[in-house]
Structures are given as C-alpha cells and as structure tokens.
Amino acid sequence: MERALTPGDRLPEDALGERFNVSRTIARQALGQLAGEGLVELRRNRIAVVASPSWEEARDTFDVRISLERIVVQRLAGRLSAEQQATLEAHIAGEERASGGPEPASIRLATEFHLLLAEMTGSPVLRRYVAELGYRCALILSLYSRPHSSDCAVSEHREIVAALVAGNAGHAVTLMDHHLDAVAERARILTEPQREHDLIRLLAPYVDG
C-alpha cells in the first residue's frame, strides 16, 4: 500500500525470514498467503517476486472493483449510523491533514477509506474481496500510474460520504463510479522501470519489535 516494494522485486524466503526474525517455514507460509491474494507471484523452484499484473489483469481488477464497490455504496446509502458517519469524517480529515505530508501515508489512507466503507456493510465476505482488490489496485497503480496526486481524491471521498448520508443511493453510486474511474485513469502512462531495491533496508520499518 505504501509502495515500499515495487512489482518484480525479489522476495527470497531466507532474507524475509531474517528480516522478520522467523524461520523460512514461516516466511514461506506468508508468501503462500500473499500469492493467494494475488500480491506475490510464486513459480515453482523460482524465487518469489512482488506481482506484476499484466495490463489485462489490471483492467480486470479495476473493473470488478468498481462493480463491488457499487454494491458497497448501495448497501450503505441512507443506512450509516451517526457513529459510522463520524468515523468516516474523521478519516477524511486525516486524509486532508496528510495530503501535504509524505506520500506513503496519504496513499495508504486513500486505500483505507474504501476498506472502511466495505467494513461498514457488516459483510465479512464483501469486506475481504474489496480489501483484496484495493490492495491489488494499489499495486497496479505503482506499476502503471504517474506519481500519486491525492488532492482531488479527498474531496471525492467527502462527496461520496455526503451522498451516502443523504441516502441518495443512485448519486452515491455515480460518484463512486466516477471516483474509481478517475483513479483507474491514472493508470495510463507506464512509468519507467524502477530502481533496484535493497530489501533489507526497505522492510526495516515493518519488523515488529
């Protein structure tokens, strides 16, 4: 979500295990799960790498994501509790605060906004699928998009919440469609191949303890 890693980056079991202070067995399990979620590519006898979705897979992922999030807003329109409303507004305020700061934080918050909505449907299945697609879309944008500019997105988030609170399902769906279309639209120009990464250094912030 924060683009600490880039598609194609190598993920050797040993190095991961050393970084997170676990054995290869554990690192291997984690890689297996991530492969199941489409974030890691796992080919037999080959080193695991961060997934590099093809252009077709990218398009497909975005298309299904749009359909799924449409379901989310349809379920939520006019049904947000006061508490949920407050949570969403607090989140958007956080996004605004972060919008001037470091990019990884604002990218993460933008993704988490959608996750928050999915969570509020109360459907674990919907939540899981939206989360999975959200993560994959973040990965795709790091492959295909130009640098993130989050300013517009925050105001769109605000409008979506307003439509949900107003109970205008149709409008909320339209807004969400346009919002996600706009996000997908960023994935138009291929960025040049990324720099070499130092796995050990990059993952340092993510080690517990």
Binding residues (CB under 8 A) for a copy of itself: these are 29, 32-33, 36, 57, 60-61, 63-64, 67, 71, 123-126, 129, 133
3-state secondary structure (DSSP) of residue 37? coil
Answer with the entry of DNA, a copy of itself, none that 12 interacts with (C-beta below 5 to 8 A by kind).
DNA
Supply the minimum distance, in Å, between the C-beta of residue 71 and a copy of itself: 5
Q: Is 81 in the site for DNA (CB under 7 A)?
A: no
Judged by CB under 7 A, the chain residues 42 through 61 that form the site for DNA are 42, 44-48
DSSP string, 64-75: HHHHHHHHHHHH
Nearer to DNA, 174 or 194 (CB): 194
Q: What distance in Å separates the CA atoms of residue 174 and residue 171, rounded to the nearest whole number? A: 5
Supply the minimum distance, in Å, between the C-beta of residue 31 and a copy of itself: 11
Q: What distance in Å separates the CA atoms of residue 165 and residue 82, rounded to the nearest whole number? A: 9
Q: Is 24 in the site for DNA (CB under 7 A)?
A: yes
Report the residue from 1, 4, 26, 68 that binds DNA according to the rule CB under 7 A.
26
Nearer to a copy of itself, 133 or 175 (CB): 133
- Among residues 11, 5, 8, 6, the alpha carbon closest in space to that of 47 is found at 11
- Number of residues assigned to the chain: 209
**Inter-residue long-range contacts of 118-122, CB under 8 Å, 24+ positions, other chains counted:** 118/69, 118/72, 120/76, 120/80, 120/84, 121/72, 121/75, 121/76
Query: Using alpha carbons only, how large is the chain's radius of gyration in Å?
Result: 18
Supply the minimum distance, in Å, between the C-beta of residue 162 and DNA: 46
Q: Is 198 in the site for DNA (CB under 7 A)?
A: no
In the complex, the residues that contact DNA under the rule CB under 7 A are: 11-15, 22-26, 28, 42, 44-48
